Amino acid sequence: MEVNERKKLEALGNPYVLEVVDTYVNLCKPASVRVLTDSKEDTEYVRTRALQLGEEKPLALKGHTVHFDSIHDQGRDSKNTRVLLPKGKIMSKSILTVDKEEGLGEIMQSLDGIMAGREMLISFFCLGPEHSKFSIPALQITDSAYVTHSESILYRFGYDQFKRLKGSKEFFYFIHASGELDERGNSKNVNKRRIYIDLEGERVFTINNQYAGNSVGLKKLALRLAISKANNEDWLCEHMFLMGVHNNGRTTYFTGAFPSACGKTSTAMIPGQTIIGDDIAYLRPGENGIAYGVNVEQGIFGIAQDVNVIDDPVIYKALTTPRELIFSNVLVVDGKPHWLGMGQELPVKGENFSGTWHKGKLGPDGKEILPAHKNARYTMRITELDNADPHLNDPKGVPVSGFIYGGRDSDTSPPVIESLSWSHGVFMAAALESEVGFAKLAGEGDRMHDPMANMDFLVVPLGVYIKNHLAFGKRLGKPPRIFATNYFLKRDGKFVNAKTDKKIWLLWMEGRIHGEYGAIETPIGFIPMYDDLKKLFKDIFNKDFTKEEYEYAFSIRIAKILDGLKRIEKIYAEEHDIPELFHEHLKQQRQRLLEAQKKHGDIISPFKLQ
């Protein structure tokens, strides 16, 4: 390492940082090392380096670039993402693990010389606002300028934050190596892709990949470390957006957890509201008995599909005007990006994640390759959006009044439900099922159990996780209300509700928090009254919402819900130390459903419950 780069590290006054860096410089054997501070010079160096290496290519609009991942590296790799489990420790059956000694041996062997001939980039970030009790410093070591550039957009700089550590070891660190590259500059050995999480060491190793969900350490990899830390320290780290809902001259803050591709970002971006974050939130009890939350990030790594001028006007404007922004895995023609569902007819040829593309081109699996990947993304700062909330960087966080849990369910759940209590809401969230989207390397359309929309990232036993959620609400004088949403209910193969209707459900939830709307109590929770929704649809969209539409959407489909309870009961029967309160809620909900079924039949109209 050159003397000047070494001095940047020594200026932090942290021997542990030096120890970590020296360990991986010696192990990975890069040709050179660049230490990045918070300076404009270093920030510009990374942008330029990504272009020089071909990891990004410039697009026609100023500040826009595009990055392509391998055709085999287009989503989070759940199979090869594992927790390093020490001997004697027990983890939930659904959490993939590998023996810690075995896993460390494998990853250290793979890292030996993996950066030969390449430059190692060392950078410092802050998870959460600076000067905040929420914040966690993070150190990233990688040989990818694209990864570092992405993180410089997504996260707050942290070099000065590390100085404030005064030598403390209280930080996360991440080691990423792209591995051997093919002729397109993509990771070649994706069959040897590994993402290993060391909870005790508060570090993550990720190799032979480039897709940001696997490679950007501070994204979903830091989420796992923070979940472990939160569950040891009595706060919550959740896969949640954080937004302000503006109504009747007031601002009410909500968090929301949705599996990928289930409407999470589009909910956080509903017109007329403000966004603090679209993905990860830290939540802590405040002194006044109210939950407070911050966005871990300052940017968005969003799904491009279906972003268009009608459904997502704010994001669409940002994606089609000059600013610093990275597209990934879209179709590019003459320097212009194209994605699925953008509201325009797509070209029949161009460049995409498969290389030179033309309509009808087949992939390795023999299936036709789409013009852009369903999981194509954009990376940009939230401050670039017209609806950025003014409290985005508030070190105190914002008071949270409501939690929203959503999933993809085509045949069962109503569009919006309110839980009967905090503990019932925790049960609802822990029992969440969702049809699989395309952000994971799994069978699209399969129905999966996804507690708190966080199963992919859970690194503590489910029993501990649920217990801590129950305890979090109990510690609060006024816990947030808990709601569940489903934007994907279908009838005769067509969606029952328009994409924009989610604004109605959101405003109803906001009104419930302030006592403005009544509700119908059902066996599964509270649902809206018809007259309230009818008025909201008329006032907001000047649209008639008929009794027939309401009845179909909000009918309680008892047989299907009971089937779901059977699946959930079976899953939790295999888990250790699930709180008894969870089982009580499951038993009570089943009993309520059976009594209603006996009285009303398998499908109950909401009008029968008033």
Question: DSSP readout, 591-608?
Answer: HHHHHHHHHH-SEE-GGG
The domain made up of 237-296+392-609 is a member of CATH 3.90.228.20: yes
Token code pair at residue 348: 């029949």
Segment 344-363, tens digit of pLDDT: 999 999 999 999 999 999 99
**Of 317, 379, 367, 369, the residue nearest 342 (C-alpha):** 317
Please count the other Cβ atoms lying within 10 Å of the Cβ belonging to residue 62: 11
CATH code: domain 3-55+72-233 is 3.40.449.10
For 152, the 3-state DSSP assignment is helix
Q: Say if strands 325-328 and 433-435 run parallel, antiparallel, or are unpaired.
A: unpaired
C-beta of residue 155 within 8 angstroms of C-beta of residue 126 = yes
Segment 220-235, tens digit of pLDDT: 999 999 999 999 998 9
Residues of the chain with CATH 3.90.228.20: 237-296+392-609
Question: Looking at per-residue confidence, does 492 or 287 come out higher?
Answer: 492
List C-alpha distances in Å: 142 to 122, 124, 210.
7, 12, 11
Residues of the chain with CATH 2.170.8.10: 302-384
Helices 580-600 and 558-573, packing angle to 10 deg: 160
List C-alpha distances in Å: 359 to 348, 351, 366, 368, 370.
5, 11, 14, 8, 8
Give the pLDDT score at 266: 84
**Of 236, 217, 171, 204, the residue nearest 82 (C-alpha):** 204
Give the pLDDT score at 1: 81
Task: Find where tokens 């790594």 sit.
Answer: 301
Residues 2-20, mean pLDDT to the nearest whole number: 95
Task: List active site positions.
Answer: 262
**Of 36, 50, 40, the residue nearest 5 (C-alpha):** 36
Segment 79-115, tens digit of pLDDT: 999 999 999 888 888 789 999 999 999 999 999 999 9
User: Is pLDDT at 474 greater than 60 in this prediction?
Assistant: yes
Contacts of 147 (CB under 8 A, 6+ apart): 140, 176, 210, 212, 215, 216, 217
Give the pLDDT score at 90: 84
CATH code: domain 302-384 is 2.170.8.10
Residues 172-196, mean pLDDT to the nearest whole number: 95
Give the pLDDT score at 405: 97
User: Is pLDDT at 120 greater than 90 in this prediction?
Assistant: yes
Token code pair at residue 238: 């959740």
Give the pLDDT score at 526: 98
What is the Cα–Cα distance from 157 to 540, expressed in whole angstroms?
40
Segment 287-305, tens digit of pLDDT: 889 999 999 999 999 999 9
Give the pLDDT score at 431: 95
User: Is pLDDT at 264 greater than 60 in this prediction?
Assistant: yes
User: Is pLDDT at 256 greater than 50 in this prediction?
Assistant: yes
Q: Given pLDDT bands bounded at 50, 70 and 90, which one contains residue 441?
A: very low
Residues 178-194, mean pLDDT to the nearest whole number: 94
Residues of the chain with CATH 3.40.449.10: 3-55+72-233
Q: Given pLDDT bands bounded at 50, 70 and 90, which one contains residue 437?
A: low
Please count the other Cβ atoms lying within 10 Å of the Cβ belonging to residue 432: 25
Give the pLDDT score at 260: 74
